[in-house]
């Protein structure tokens, strides 16, 4: 028999705990400092019967069949496919910028010329980062790149990261693609959707096993580690090591919720505002599960720096220096806790979509199966 401690009841911790529970000789304790399970994926139905994603909109999408099959043991998914529009010069244009966007943004004669030139240089169906267009010697393609840079990328990025684009890691800039396609969906993965009864319910079922014990409002540092054979840690590694090398930087986000007495507030679940207002985007939650209510709830999303004690960690800040700091923390933590494994968006200090967090958890726990 082995006794395991899993720190964090988010999707990473719940995946590890569930897999370990397949061996009924294992005893698994899952702790979380919050008063709820599901971590960042936490959702709940409000008084208007609308499912609210407390930490921001979560859309499940993956092409990893093993991850999809694993999660479908605990929930069905609807067939929601995410679409995002950005308000640019007063019009709602589909993102990422694609052939439909080009037709909507520019006069027909220019749009057709750009489309033809794009297809002469690149293959239909590919995603080309805007940086590649800026390097073209064709005037129309440079115009396209400049238009997207100014209207979609520049101000949005400044708001999101609180920095000018030249201070931002290239990996972030490269994320802004032009999609040479008429496909308006935000994701192209094989499997997409929202859990029919929400993420919290899905994670509840993952943890609902006779040999898993869940303790909420429980801090790792309050746990007596004697008696545990192995520990899986999905919390922030710098905090675990008392910030002795300094703080790993994160961007944070806060959401301002508003309720309206009408069926819908906007045209879809996500509308970005790259150039207007202080918020980056507005989410309208009832679209995800097609909730029936005569009211609607929206969330305006504001980005800000993470400050311990003031707000939550959301996005690790990409950059070599930060990766190096993380690696130094990992080495220290492994020395202090040789029977501990690190994973999850905080334990690994990496942005993971949910499917990638599950994939990572499945890979880490393999060693113990
Ligand atoms: C704004 C935003 C939007 C997102 N949208 C999407 C999306 O649309 N689609 C998608 O696939 N992914 C999305 N993600 C990513 C998704 O949130 C992550 O993949 C997922 O939450 C990772 O889960 P996790 O278990 O690794 O971390 P978490 O959910 O953060 O879980 C870690 C848990 O550990 C607990 N913990 C930490 N330290 C301690 C401690 N010392 N003691 C006890 N407990 C502790 C925390 O309270 C937390 O509950 C989004 C992320 C953000 C920030």
- d(CA 266, ligand 1 centre) in Å: 27
pLDDT of residue 165: 65
**What CATH number does the domain containing 43 carry?**
3.40.50.720
Residues 97, 58 share a domain: no
Examine the pLDDT at 167 and tell me if it is beyond 90. no
Query: Which residues lie across from 284 on neighbouring strands?
Result: 298
Query: Which residues lie across from 215 on neighbouring strands?
Result: 31
82: number of Cβ within 10 Å: 19
Residues 143, 96 share a domain: yes
The mean pLDDT value of the chain amounts to: 95
Structural domain includes residue 277: no
Nearest residue (CA) to ligand 1, atom 20: 354
Examine the pLDDT at 48 and tell me if it is beyond 60. yes
Residues 89, 71 share a domain: no
The answer to whether 78 touches 194, Cβ cutoff 8 Å, is yes
% of residues, the chain, pLDDT over 90: 89
Q: Taking the C-alpha atoms of 96, 98, 100 and 101 in order, what is their torsion angle to the nearest 10 degrees?
A: 60
Examine the pLDDT at 170 and tell me if it is beyond 90. no
Structural domain includes residue 345: yes
Examine the pLDDT at 29 and tell me if it is beyond 80. yes
Sign of the Cα pseudo-torsion (52, 208, 368, 363, in order): negative
State mean pLDDT over 310-331.
95
Would the CB of 12 count as within 6 Å of ligand 1? yes
Structural domain includes residue 212: yes
Residues 106, 67 share a domain: no
Nearest residue (CA) to ligand 1, atom 3: 56
- In the chain, how many domains are there? 2
Residues 170, 25 share a domain: no
Examine the pLDDT at 3 and tell me if it is beyond 80. yes
Structural domain includes residue 267: no
**Angstrom distance (rounded) from CA 218 to CA 136:** 56
Structural domain includes residue 264: no
Rounded to 10 deg, the angle between the 354-365 and 11-21 helix axes is 40
Atom of ligand 1 nearest to the CA of 356: 19
Would the CB of 7 count as within 6 Å of ligand 1? yes
Rounded to 10 deg, the angle between the 139-148 and 108-121 helix axes is 100
Structure confidence at residue 261 as a pLDDT band (50, 70, 90): very high
Domain end: 128, 146, 179, which one? Answer: 179
Examine the pLDDT at 154 and tell me if it is beyond 90. no
Query: Which residues lie across from 200 on neighbouring strands?
Result: none
- Note the pLDDT tens digit of each residue in 85-120: 999 999 999 999 999 999 999 999 999 999 999 999
- Note the pLDDT tens digit of each residue in 238-250: 999 999 999 999 9
Radius of gyration of the chain (CA): 22
Query: Whose CA is closest to 296, among 56, 83, 51, 43?
Result: 51
% of residues, the chain, pLDDT over 70: 98
Residues 197, 154 share a domain: no
Domain assignment of residue 39, given as a range: 3-80+192-242+316-368
pLDDT of residue 173: 62
Structural domain includes residue 10: yes
Query: Which residues lie across from 283 on neighbouring strands?
Result: 270, 299
Consecutive H or E run containing 243: none
pLDDT of residue 335: 98
Would the CB of 114 count as within 6 Å of ligand 1? no
Query: Which residues lie across from 214 on neighbouring strands?
Result: 30
State mean pLDDT over 294-313.
97
Domain end: 134, 158, 179, which one? Answer: 179
Question: SS3 letters for 307-346?
Answer: CCCCCCCCEECCCHHHHHHHHHHHHHHHHHCCCEEECHHH
Residues 69, 89 share a domain: no
Structural domain includes residue 265: no
Structure confidence at residue 132 as a pLDDT band (50, 70, 90): confident
Residues 58, 109 share a domain: no
Residues 220, 109 share a domain: no
- Note the pLDDT tens digit of each residue in 347-362: 999 999 999 999 999 9
Would the CB of 345 count as within 6 Å of ligand 1? yes
Burial of 54 (0-12, 13-18, 19+ CB in 10 A): middle
DSSP sequence for 92-156: EEEESEEHHHHHHHS-HHHHHHHHHHHHHHS-TT-EEEHHHHHT-S-HHHHHHHHHHIIIIIIHH
**Angstrom distance (rounded) from CA 120 to CA 188:** 23
Query: Whose CA is closest to 99, among 86, 112, 82?
Result: 112
Residues 322, 230 share a domain: yes
Tokens, residue 66? 């093993």
Least-confidence region, from 176-180, 232-236, 259-263, 265-269: 176-180
Residues 10, 156 share a domain: no
Domain end: 152, 179, 206, which one? Answer: 179
pLDDT of residue 172: 60
Tokens, residue 324? 């190096």
- d(CA 236, ligand 1 centre) in Å: 11
What is residue 176's three-state secondary structure?
coil
Residues 66, 105 share a domain: no
89: number of Cβ within 10 Å: 8
State mean pLDDT over 51-59.
98
Examine the pLDDT at 205 and tell me if it is beyond 90. yes
Structural domain includes residue 250: no
Examine the pLDDT at 171 and tell me if it is beyond 70. no
Tokens, residue 139? 């005037």
pLDDT of residue 157: 87
């Amino acid at each position: 028999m082995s006794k395991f401690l899993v720190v964090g009841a988010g999707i990473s911790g719940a995946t590890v705990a569930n897999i370990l529970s397949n061996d009924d000789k294992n005893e698994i304790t899952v702790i979380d400092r919050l008063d709820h399970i599901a971590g960042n994926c936490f959702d709940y139905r409000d008084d208007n019967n609308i499912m609210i994603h407390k930490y921001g909109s979560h859309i499940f999408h993956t092409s990893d069949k093993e991850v999809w099959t694993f999660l479908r043991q605990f929930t069905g998914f609807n067939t929601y496919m995410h679409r995002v529009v950005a308000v640019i010069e007063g019009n709602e244009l589909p993102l990422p910028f694609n052939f439909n966007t080009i037709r909507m943004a520019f006069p027909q004669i220019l749009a057709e010329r750009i489309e033809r030139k794009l297809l002469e240089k690149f293959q239909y169906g590919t995603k080309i980062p805007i940086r590649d267009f800026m390097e073209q010697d064709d005037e129309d393609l440079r115009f396209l790149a400049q238009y997207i840079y100014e209207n979609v990328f520049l101000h949005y990025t400044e708001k999101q990261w609180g920095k000018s684009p030249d201070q931002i890691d290239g990996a972030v800039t490269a994320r802004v693609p032009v999609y040479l396609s008429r496909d308006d969906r935000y994701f192209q993965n094989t499997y997409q959707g929202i859990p029919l009864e929400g993420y919290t319910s899905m994670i509840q079922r993952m943890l609902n096993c006779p040999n898993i014990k869940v303790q909420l409002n429980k801090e790792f540092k309050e746990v007596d580690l004697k008696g545990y054979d192995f520990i899986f840690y999905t919390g922030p590694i710098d905090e675990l090591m008392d910030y002795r090398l300094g703080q790993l930087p994160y961007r944070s986000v806060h959401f301002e919720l508003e309720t309206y007495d009408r069926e819908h507030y906007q045209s879809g679940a996500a509308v970005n505002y790259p150039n207007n207002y202080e918020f980056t985007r507005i989410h309208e939650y009832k679209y995800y599960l097609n909730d029936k209510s005569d009211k609607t709830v929206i969330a305006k999303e504001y980005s800000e720096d993470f400050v311990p004690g003031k707000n939550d960690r959301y996005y690790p800040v990409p950059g070599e220096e930060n990766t190096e700091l993380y690696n130094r923390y990992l080495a220290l933590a492994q020395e202090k806790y040789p029977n501990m494994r690190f994973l999850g968006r905080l334990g690994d200090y990496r942005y993971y979509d949910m499917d990638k967090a599950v994939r990572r958890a499945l890979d880490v726990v393999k060693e113990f199966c």
